[in-house]
Amino acid sequence: MKRIILFLFALPFLFACNSNDTKSENNTSEKQTKVETTIENGTPKITYTLGDKKADSKEVETVAEELVPVSDLVSKTGNESAKRETIEDKDEALKKRRAHTQFNNGTNFYKQGDLENAIQSFKNSLEFKPNNAKAFYNLGNIYYDLGQKDLAQSYYKDAVEINPEDSLSLVAIGLICTEKGNLPEALDYYNKAVAVAPTFSMVYFNRGTLLGQNKQYQQSLDDLSKAIKYDPGNSEAYINRGLAHFYMKNIDLACKDWKKAKTMGNPKGTQAVDIYCSGKEK
């Protein structure tokens, strides 16, 4: 039995971002779930194996929340640009400051690998600002790291309830559904993510991989091609698209993608080329 290729699902980790910001979406770090592919007697055989790669604090791109002006408050003189000391409702302003401080504390604790204090800080932030979707998203990330997938999913869903356009949480829920084997629900969440973030490479990458696993190879090719369009540096997308071509008996196109992945330094591309593309023009 010869192993050649891994399908990969990925979960983006970005503590504070705009779901419609293409640059931040395309540069998120990845949490991977492996789908191991083997070839036996010339017939592809797919088995799922979950990877144990955790997001290292150095890999997580974190952006501290900015303390924005309190737009719903006015000064005693009615001048919204007046100094904060003149704001009538100082208690509300103080809550916003405390929420901001606790959120950033959580980010710093996460970077240090102190997940217990990170959790507490983000929960404290929610005490002062209960509608902060980013805090719910971050708690989902931490509990995912800890292997508590059901709890992580509940926090991601809270984030989506507050912000239906939170593409990162939508993708995260889709990943967990995939891990649980609930592929129809996973596909539903990926579809929602595509609707709100049509240039988010990782959504197409995950959905295309899922469609490939469901033997919907043409649709898989379409999605993986979009993943490459929006993130040309993702060598795994070439690996997976090559595998979809392989299943469709388009070995020349498969080899083209695998050779591309090889030139990008992906060892699975090298292995696939050596096994299936020998004798073909390099």
* Percent residues over pLDDT 90 in the chain: 56
With respect to residue 271, please indicate whether it lies within any of the assigned structural domains.
yes
* CA atoms of 222 and 189, how far apart (whole Å): 18
**Residues 207-239: pLDDT tens digits?**
999 999 899 999 999 999 999 999 999 999 999
Show Cβ contacts of residue 54 under 8 Å, excluding neighbours closer than 6 positions: 31, 145
Given this model, what pLDDT does residue 3 score?
A: 41
Show Cβ contacts of residue 116 under 8 Å, excluding neighbours closer than 6 positions: none
* CA atoms of 236 and 75, how far apart (whole Å): 54
With respect to residue 207, please indicate whether it lies within any of the assigned structural domains.
yes
**Residues 130-180: pLDDT tens digits?**
999 999 999 999 999 999 999 999 999 999 999 999 999 999 999 999 989
* CA atoms of 188 and 194, how far apart (whole Å): 10
Given this model, what pLDDT does residue 280 score?
A: 55
* CA atoms of 137 and 156, how far apart (whole Å): 5
Asked if pLDDT for residue 71 goes beyond 60, the answer is no
Asked if pLDDT for residue 68 goes beyond 70, the answer is no
Positive or negative, the CA dihedral 87, 89, 94, 95 is: negative
With respect to residue 124, please indicate whether it lies within any of the assigned structural domains.
yes
Asked if pLDDT for residue 196 goes beyond 70, the answer is yes
Residues in the chain: 282
Given this model, what pLDDT does residue 82 score?
A: 53
CATH of the domain at 166: 1.25.40.10
With respect to residue 282, please indicate whether it lies within any of the assigned structural domains.
no
Asked if pLDDT for residue 36 goes beyond 50, the answer is no
Given this model, what pLDDT does residue 85 score?
A: 52
Asked if pLDDT for residue 97 goes beyond 80, the answer is yes
With respect to residue 19, please indicate whether it lies within any of the assigned structural domains.
yes
Confidence of residue 46 (pLDDT cuts 50, 70, 90): very low
* CA atoms of 42 and 125, how far apart (whole Å): 55
> Whole-angstrom distance between the N-terminal and C-terminal Cα of the chain?
25
Closest of 163, 156, 102 to residue 129, by C-alpha? 102
Q: Where are the alpha helices (DSSP H) in the chain?
A: 22-26, 90-111, 115-128, 133-145, 149-162, 167-179, 183-196, 201-213, 217-230, 235-247, 251-263, 267-276
Given this model, what pLDDT does residue 79 score?
A: 57
Closest of 60, 58, 68 to residue 168, by C-alpha? 60
Count of the separate structural domains present in the chain:
1
Confidence of residue 96 (pLDDT cuts 50, 70, 90): confident
Confidence of residue 17 (pLDDT cuts 50, 70, 90): very low
Q: What is the DSSP letter of 280?
A: S
Given this model, what pLDDT does residue 93 score?
A: 79
With respect to residue 281, please indicate whether it lies within any of the assigned structural domains.
no
Q: Domain span at residue 97?
A: 2-276
Asked if pLDDT for residue 15 goes beyond 90, the answer is no
Given this model, what pLDDT does residue 34 score?
A: 46
Give me the phi and psi of 63, to 5 degrees please: -130, 120
Beta carbons within 10 angstroms of residue 164's beta carbon: 14
Closest of 240, 169, 177, 179 to residue 204, by C-alpha? 240
What integer best gives the mean pLDDT of the chain? 76
Asked if pLDDT for residue 118 goes beyond 90, the answer is yes
Given this model, what pLDDT does residue 47 score?
A: 27
Give me the phi and psi of 277, to 5 degrees please: -120, 15
Per-residue pLDDT, averaged over 98-125, amounts to 93
Per-residue pLDDT, averaged over 87-111, amounts to 84
Assess contact for 254 and 246: CB atoms under 8 A: yes
3-state secondary structure of 14: strand
Given this model, what pLDDT does residue 109 score?
A: 94
With respect to residue 241, please indicate whether it lies within any of the assigned structural domains.
yes
